[in-house]
Structure 1
Amino acid sequence: MHRAVGKAMRQEVQPMREAVRRHVGSELKVVRHSFLHAFRVKVLDQDPTRLPRMWIGSRIPWSGVHETGVTIGGKMLIPLHGRLGKKRFKAFVDELMRGGNAYFIKKGGKVILMAENLKEYDRPLAGFKRRYRKAEGIKRLKRGADIPIAILVRQVTLRKRLNVEGVVRQRIAALERAIQRFL
């Protein structure tokens, strides 16, 4: 019986995995497909003293916050235009601050990190300038023009965006039929 239930669960692993990945892909704007492939389904039935079970989760530890929602506190700099990795963004901001090209302004109750369009910072600022021009619809930026880099926030609230548990509940009937077939 233990072996039959394990076989039935293994047969349902791929449809379950595809359903979860489809749901995540439809609810989140996924840039990298590796994010979707991090969602895994495993059957744990090796221990004969325990009942077989199915594990559904992600290798990315923070992906669960999209299932429950969370509020993150503390001062954080959020890049305004584009995506940057945490380490790369920190190095970029440090370089601008050390060079004296970055400063904070308060505009409309928000604290914004700005940088000046200077020749010696053309290379590091290139991506930010391009995305800023595109977002604002500007053809050319003049030398000395201010470019918004990031916004300083005290807390970020991520709402619940995924319902993986609901997807699994919908697939339980198919899993139950598979188990009955094998028994």
Structure 2
Amino acid sequence: MRISIRIDSAAGNAQLRRWGGEFRTKVQKAVERAMRTEAAEIKDDVRAHVAGQMSVVRKSFLKGFTAKVLAKDPKRLPALYVGSRIPWSAMHETGGQIAGRMLIPLHGRVGRKRFKAQVAELMRGGNAYFIKNAKGNIVLMAENIKEHDRPLSGFKRRYRKAEGVKRLKRGADIPIAVLVPKVVLKKRLNVERLVAGRIPRLSAAVEREISTVD
């Protein structure tokens, strides 16, 4: 995800070119200081917003949202970048649809790599099969057998919790995942509006810093 908001940057850079060398450098540093101060708070606000709108399991997802100052080009004023290192996080900002047949784990979350490995192990052992349930959904099932206790342990625990079952009998069928033709994601985040709301404060901070330059 990348949020892009501009504040008359063309006029600002034109003014920067008109200023003299040493003064121009001081102005650039002043703008950078103001942005770095605001960037830390914007980053915290964005992460708090995401945590409040979504059930975040992994802290790495939240840490992927960041705000940083780009100030390497001496010919331009510094810029503030707000975004996420996780490309697909933008789907939660705009909403959208992911097409293609996909297996979605049932009764709780499982990491993508772990889920793939567990299903592959069950299929290699011949203990994974599809059925069509009463609602017409295609469900991946597995049999509760001792040979596959390890890959099934998490699925059994989550299934028991969801169904309120204390113990599963040997040979019982366990629903693992549902096969879907597409996934529709609703808009759940509004990071762009949050950042836009901080622009007046950021602009004021930049003006204060520039006013100290002589």
TM-score normalised to the size of structure 2? 0.81
Residue of structure 1 equivalent to 2:186: 159
Deviations 1:25-67 (A, max 9, x none): 1111111222212211111122122232100011222211111
Structure number with bigger Rg:
2
Kindly, what percent of the aligned residue pairs are identical?
A: 63
CA distance in 2, matches of 1:8, 1:87: 42
Alignment partner of 2:161: what SS?
helix
Match status 1:173 vs 2:205: no
CA distance in 1, matches of 2:70, 2:147: 57
CA distance in 2, matches of 1:91, 1:123: 12
Match status 1:27 vs 2:73: no
Match status 1:13 vs 2:35: no
Residue of structure 2 equivalent to 1:84: 110
Residue of structure 2 equivalent to 1:119: 146
Unaligned runs of 5+ in 2: 1-26
Alignment partner of 1:12: what SS?
helix
CA distance in 2, matches of 1:76, 1:134: 24
Alignment partner of 1:114: what SS?
strand
Amino acid at match of 2:144: N
Using CA pairs below 8 Å that are at least 6 residues apart, which structure has the higher relative contact order? 1
RMSD: 1.3
Residue of structure 1 equivalent to 2:5: none
Higher strand share: 1
CA distance in 2, matches of 1:95, 1:33: 28
* Residue 41 of structure 1, aligned match among 64, 67, 92: 67
Q: Single out whichever of 138-147 and 90-99 deviates more from structure 2.
A: 90-99
Residue of structure 1 equivalent to 2:160: 133
Residue of structure 2 equivalent to 1:143: 170
Unaligned runs of 5+ in 1: none
